[in-house]
Structure 1
Amino acid sequence: MAGQVKSKQRVADHGEVFTNPREVNAMLDMVKQETERIDSRFLEPACGNGNFLAEVLRRKLAVVAGMYRTSPYEYMRNAFVATASLYGVDLLPDNVEECRERLYDIVENEAKSAIKKHIEQRFLNAVRFVLEKNILCGDALTLKDANGNPIRFAEWSIVTGDKVKRRDYLLSELLEGSDSQQSLFGDPFSDRNDAVEWEFDEEIQAFVPSAVEEYPLVNYWEVQRHG
């Protein structure tokens, strides 16, 4: 159990036990193709300090480096996409902060290794902002954040060139499904399916909930303009 617990008290209070790297990799290898797809989205509902998300990010960035190492511009753009595809929730604020910093450090170190002096601060600033929005303190069982509000996540989509479209969705609605498209995590008898309108997304050929908020198109390195 060495390295898998921070304290016996945290285990008793929160059932906190971290998954060791061998088990993390074994489980991720079961969906290896998805872990190596740059824009494939992952949600870890009890992310701790990021064991699963960190490994997914490393795998994605390895693909980015293999494809774009000789083009710093494309490397940073795709590294942003890879980072923005990861989401996490944890009950404990210190875990959330550790997870954010851990993922940020991975991005920074991998970028320095891949494109060296060409790394730009505006890219790193955008990565830090996205991690603040994607890694949240809350309870994935109640679907509420640390302030008691519904958990909402931002979807970051590259629309054209470097332009990013941000749409915010309630996690509860993403998990519930709709009358036309049931989520694997939804209750087929839940009356919450009518809580939000669902729309058919032509790009992914599936029903998705309406966004609770949409933001203007911006360059990916300017996402923090609309906090």
Structure 2
Amino acid sequence: MAEQVKSKQRVADHGEVFTNEREVNAMLDMVKQETERLDSRFLEPACGDGNFLAEILRRKLAVVKQRYGKNPRDWEKYAFVAVGSIYGVELLPDNAADCRKRLLSIVEEAWRRAIKTDGDPRFMGAISYVLARNILNGDALTMLDAEDNPIIFSEWSLVTGDKVKRRDFRLDEMLEGNVKQNESLSLFGDIADNGDVSPRSEWEYDEETQAFIPKPITEYPLTSFYEVMNGE
């Protein structure tokens, strides 16, 4: 695992101190069942270069190997589900890039061990695309990305066979979600310091959760998980 401190200057400027491996595993062991559930979603709001997310991914991929290691197509499908369940926001762009590379290398190493010569050549491209959508350079406090736009994450849902559904949501709306039926929502959007208004998505009442939840800002047609990078 990487050093806890990259430089004293980064600590002074950003308070950047990485969690060591022992603490990472101790904290994740508190939610062990969730770390081993392939579709259980995790969001790390200050993910650094991925200490927590890397360990979550390793645990999920160990489950994929145990359950689907004898079937290359199933291994790829459920490894995709595992990767699609992991999200991170990181303020420093070099850390965000390092996190994506780190997670990608973990998947590639596991893929080559599990699949050997029977893998689909599109698989790693799809994983790289998902990580580019799921690990973002931005500020989790303001919920804005590096271009000062609302952070938008993609939800990846396995539907049938190798088909997945992608839906994009604003992070701020998702965290504001589950507003009770008798509570009010902002109808006019977010007002910036300069007076500009960022319109909100529509909301709908969900009978199952008995709460209002935001509708996705974009929905994409069903597509093979191997082809998600071609969906835009």
Flag the structure with larger Rg: 2
Deviation at 1:205, TM superposition (A): 7.9
- Asked if the contact 1:176–1:193 (Cα under 8 Å) also holds between the matched residues in 2, the reply is no
- Asked if the contact 2:41–2:86 (Cα under 8 Å) also holds between the matched residues in 1, the reply is yes
- Asked if the contact 2:126–2:226 (Cα under 8 Å) also holds between the matched residues in 1, the reply is yes
Please show how residues 156-167 of structure 1 align to structure 2 within 5 Å: 156-167=156-167
Please show how residues 104-183 of structure 1 align to structure 2 within 5 Å: 104-180=104-180
Tell me the distance in 2 between the aligned counterparts of 1:206 and 1:70: 42
Change (3 A) 1:77 1:205: farther
Q: TM-score, normalised by structure 2?
A: 0.88
Tell me the distance in 1 between the aligned counterparts of 2:210 and 2:165: 19
Tell me the distance in 2 between the aligned counterparts of 1:162 and 1:203: 27
SS at match of 2:149: coil
Q: Tell me the residue number matched to 1:184.
A: none
- Asked if the contact 2:179–2:213 (Cα under 8 Å) also holds between the matched residues in 1, the reply is no
Structure 1: stretches of 5+ with no match in the other structure? 182-187
Q: Tell me the residue number matched to 1:222.
A: 227
Q: Tell me the residue number matched to 1:95.
A: 95
Amino acid at match of 2:171: L
Tell me the distance in 1 between the aligned counterparts of 2:83 and 2:208: 21
SS at match of 1:158: strand
Residue range with higher mean Cα deviation, 169-178 or 45-54: 169-178
Deviation at 1:201, TM superposition (A): 5.3
Deviation at 1:179, TM superposition (A): 2.9
- Asked if the contact 1:68–1:74 (Cα under 8 Å) also holds between the matched residues in 2, the reply is yes
Amino acid at match of 2:19: T
The alignment-based identity, stated in percent, is 62
Q: CA RMSD in A?
A: 2.3
Tell me the distance in 1 between the aligned counterparts of 2:70 and 2:38: 17
Tell me the distance in 2 between the aligned counterparts of 1:25 and 1:133: 26
Tell me the distance in 1 between the aligned counterparts of 2:88 and 2:125: 19
Deviation at 1:89, TM superposition (A): 0.4
- Asked if the contact 1:42–1:85 (Cα under 8 Å) also holds between the matched residues in 2, the reply is yes
SS at match of 1:120: coil
Structure 2: stretches of 5+ with no match in the other structure? 190-199
Deviation at 1:203, TM superposition (A): 7.9
Amino acid at match of 1:47: C
Which is helix-richer, 1 or 2? 1
Amino acid at match of 1:29: D
Q: Deviations over 1:141-163 (max 9, x none)?
A: 00000000000000011111111
